[in-house]
Amino acid sequence: MREIVFDTETTGLSPAGGDRMVEIGCIEMIGRIETGRHFHCYFNPGRLLPSEAEAIHGLSDTFLSDKPNFADKVEELLEFIGDSPLVAHNAGFDFGFLNHELNFCGRAPLCLTRMVDTLGLARSRHPGAKHSLDALCTRFGVDRSARVRHGALLDAQLLAQVYVELTGGRQIGLGLGVETPASSASVASAAAIVRPLRAPRPHHASASELARHAQFVAKIANPLWRRFIASTSERGAA
């Protein structure tokens, strides 16, 4: 199955309050394996960047001033993500900004049924633990040494590895994790296979085999079982 793991960087927390997306990074996965294909783009938000946001992702007004508008890249983005499920950490946030940008340029919003939220997965698998991307990378041994600041493409790459661990790890195909509907169907199909019954094979020794065994045993000098039989006989006689 094809899935897209993605992350966004923004000017703030509220698209309804005027905040805009400034970066998106998308990673293609097929069968929980990264294919090497990705989509990455910076956007000119058309507004000044608050210092608090710049401190998080390091993007500045100067850097973004010559970047394209979201509308200029929307066709490439939609073509890349296609109709695949979209995986994000705290996905409601990223979907909110992505759909706001789509609406801003007159495009239909993405259906929320496509949303896969790794934050929700982490909370259900590890209740009471820390669920930030940094904490999950530490838990699953994902190298995040390059993550000095937030960055959409880097964070999507890290999240892709975390997502694999949250959904069964690299041995997902062996059925060692939580059973999925697809694996249930496979089990059901296997159970429905009817094989012809085979008559049981005889396991008793033939007369000739018993005779050969007796000849072999007779050649053994002072076997242990004869001592045991003799000892048992003496105790019985007493």
Pick left, alpha or beta for residue 32 (phi over 0 → left; psi -120 to 50 → alpha; otherwise beta).
Answer: left
Catalytic residue among 150, 203, 204, 213: 150
Q: Which comes out higher in pLDDT, residue 188 or 213?
A: 213
Q: Cα separation of 91 and 68, whole Å?
A: 24
Query: What pLDDT band is residue 183 in, cutting at 50, 70 and 90?
Result: very low
From CA 39, how far away is CA 79, in angstroms rounded?
Answer: 10
Which ranges in the chain are annotated with CATH 3.30.420.10? 2-173
Instruction: With beta carbons less than 8 A apart as the criterion, state whether 45 and 11 touch.
Output: yes
Tokens (6 digits) for 45: 């938000």
Mean pLDDT of 5-25: 96
Residue-wise pLDDT for 82-131, tens only, equals 999 999 999 999 999 999 999 999 999 999 999 999 999 999 999 999 99
Angle between helices 152-166 and 118-125 (to 10 degrees): 40
Residue-level pLDDT at 215: 85
Mean pLDDT on 55-84: 97
Question: What percent of the chain has a predicted confidence (pLDDT) above 90?
Answer: 67
Q: Encode pLDDT of 191-226 as tens digits.
A: 445 556 666 666 677 788 888 888 887 888 877 767
Q: What is the rounded average pLDDT for all residues in the chain? A: 86
Please state the rounded mean pLDDT for residues 150-170.
Answer: 92
Sheet containing 33-42: order of strands? 33-42, 21-30, 2-10, 86-88, 115-117
Architecture field, domain 2-173: 2-Layer Sandwich (3.30)
38 catalytic residue (yes or no): no
pTM of structure: 0.70
CA separation for the pair 138, 144 (Å, rounded):
8
Give the torsion sign (CA, 8, 121, 96, 16): negative
CB atoms within 10 A of CB 142: 19
